Amino acid sequence: MKIAALHLSAGHNFVGHHGQPAGTHPINSVASVECVAGRGLRGDRFWDHKPDFPGQITFFAEEVHRALLRELQPSPCPAGAYRRNVITRGVDLNTLVGREFTVQGVRFLGTVECKPCYWMDQAVGPGANVWLRGRGGLRAKILSDGVLQVDCPTATGLLLAGGRSLRMGRDKATLDWRGRPLGEHQATTLIAMGAWPLLLSCRRDQPWTPRGFTRVEDQDDQGVLGAFVGAFAAAGTPVVTSLAIDVPHVAPEWLEVLTGRARETGVSVVPVHKGYFEPLVAAWHRSALPDLQAALAAGTSLQLVCTALVADGRLQPHVLSAAEVGQLANLNTPADLTPGE
């Protein structure tokens, strides 16, 4: 089991609020939590809640969060919206009900499903309560003292939309793509892969900002290099997954593959086709930041940065298969907007 995020909240927003408005206690993302046997997580609302309480700690699968985002398409939200303590990756939590298990040296007893309630429709989006039934997470008792730490953080999502679109003749974000603006389509792709936080790299004169995204405005026409440097400055995650505004065929599942490799290997993963790097749809690891900053200051091309990172072992090229090449087909001119696309 990997830990993608850890959450604590000092007070209850839903418990005891039936017939009343939800509470306003924030759910706080933390790097580590202290587990105390029989008592709970120090600093959390369920600390010493009841004797032998079955929900001293709660777990929720990031995979379930991503699936919900794809199927229900609620407003963008982090996995913390469910107000579970531990966001996991790589485990079926339902299999741990009634079993003892160990995470990072701390022992737990899985007790029952952390069943969703009607508040989920408010906290996450309409339909979430019903959709989450049978996959609401896990309640557990803490059997030994210890500390849990985030060891596999969620990636930041970066939508690159700051280009001038000279050949297209208009802002690509506003193009119609299958009945909705292209920018919204691309934002949905990043949302569906579970990226958080969500950033939009854009020019100052671009008014459009997708819901749930924070603007990282281009400073002095610094281009894509400036966007990457700005994204790492704006988000504290090890990995920033980038998606260009004009490649609408990219699937969120494929972005997850690139992101997972960057996360596990600790290096950037950038697609390559016919010897040419495709750095605008890639998983960038923070280990590349010094090179990106140096290239920005010196005016070096991003292609040369990628080449140098490969030689230094800090970038892993992902050679595109025949099936993957089509995902990177981009929209450069009005002729690329063919009927039916």
Q: How many CB atoms lie within 10 A of CB 335?
A: 9
In a domain, 183, yes or no: yes
Last residue of one domain, picked from the residues 149, 179, 213: 149
In a domain, 341, yes or no: no
pLDDT tens over the chain, length 341 residues: 999 999 999 887 777 667 777 777 889 999 999 999 999 999 999 999 999 999 999 999 999 999 999 999 999 999 999 999 999 999 999 999 999 999 999 999 999 999 998 889 999 999 999 999 999 999 999 999 999 999 999 999 999 997 666 566 567 778 888 888 999 999 999 999 999 999 999 988 888 899 999 999 987 778 899 999 999 999 999 999 999 999 999 999 999 999 999 999 999 999 999 999 999 999 999 999 999 999 999 999 999 999 999 999 999 999 999 989 999 988 776 777 764 44
- Which residues are paired to 87 by β-bridges? 5, 60
In a domain, 231, yes or no: yes
Tokens of 100: 């003892």
Q: How many CB atoms lie within 10 A of CB 63?
A: 18
How does 162-189 read in b/e, with b if 16+ C-beta sit within 10 Å?
bbebeebeebbbebebeeebbbebbbbb
Last residue of one domain, picked from the residues 121, 149, 177: 149
Say whether both 66 and 180 belong to one domain. no
Burial of residue 333, with CB atoms counted within 10 A of its CB: 0-12 exposed, 13-18 middle, 19 or more buried: exposed
Under 8 Å between Cβ of 62 and 53: no
Say whether both 14 and 95 belong to one domain. yes
Say whether both 131 and 257 belong to one domain. no
CATH number of 208's domain: 3.90.550.10
Last residue of one domain, picked from the residues 116, 149, 182: 149
Say whether both 66 and 160 belong to one domain. no
Q: How many domains does the chain fold into?
A: 2
Say whether both 45 and 173 belong to one domain. no
Say whether both 165 and 288 belong to one domain. yes
Say whether both 178 and 212 belong to one domain. yes
Say whether both 205 and 111 belong to one domain. no
In a domain, 200, yes or no: yes
CATH number of 124's domain: 2.40.33.20
In a domain, 216, yes or no: yes
Say whether both 214 and 296 belong to one domain. yes
Report phi then psi at 206, rounded to 5. -90, 115
Residues 6+ apart with CB under 8 A from 211: 75, 76, 187
Residue 116: domain span: 2-149
Distance CA 186, CA 249 (A): 9
Say whether both 102 and 194 belong to one domain. no
Say whether both 66 and 142 belong to one domain. yes
Tokens 């800090």 identify what position?
A: 314
In a domain, 125, yes or no: yes
Say whether both 309 and 271 belong to one domain. yes
Strands 213-217 vs 198-202: parallel, antiparallel or unpaired? parallel
- What ranges make up the beta strands (E) of 218-265? 239-244
